[in-house]
Structure 1
Amino acid sequence: MKKLFFLTLIITLSIQFNQAQSIEGSWKGELAVMGQKIPLIVHFSEKEGEWSGKMDSPNQGAMGIAMRKVLFDGTMISFEMSMGNASYEGLLLGEQIKGNFSQSGMSIPLDF
């Protein structure tokens, strides 16, 4: 009986935890490339079940770079950039998104 209670509790808590997770808003990270740290800011919004986003690279003077194919399932997130043949895949872990930024065949860790 105790096992059933704890199993039910764990399932309930994990469902509530996943439902409470959202990427909506702005997230900051630093991309480490060839000894340099490039600050990046991503902005996500959701409308009628569809996610969209934009990225800023302040040091490069690039603001509002459109994302396409923004996907978020409550845990996993991915997007492609509309320019630069770049993409990102990551996991939402509490208050942090941990993942990898890919461009031109290179994959670089990038956390927001």
Structure 2
Amino acid sequence: MALQLMKLQVTASTTTNVDPESSKFFHVTGAETAAGTTLTIDAASFFLDDGTPATSLPPLATDNSYFTVTINGVLQMDGLSTYTPGATTVGSLAIAVPAGGDSILAGTPIVLEVVSFTPSASTTVET
């Protein structure tokens, strides 16, 4: 019998699922925030979709989550907001109001949306 290269015959398939979870937090400003200052909203100052008070802001998983801020129905640029996850007195959203621009008026609705993804994968190998 002649020499021959022996090799394995292998096939594999992977199924990947990415399940997003969105949390929305609502706030209505109580006072005007002037241009050139920062509006900081504590976790307890937000309320949830059902109107109940929020008690904490969820963590942001590296490369698997993001947050957006909407002020008076307008999506804001990323660089204006600083998000800190956590419970009351720790968790907060800070919005830097640019100098030379408009202030945020009292009674303005602010919506914080946090989106997190939970990826999962399964691989089947057949030989």
TM-score range, shorter chain: under 0.3
Give the number of the structure with larger relative contact order, counting CA–CA contacts within 8 Å between residues 6 or more apart.
2
Structure 1 length normalisation: TM-score? 0.27
Greater share of strand: 1
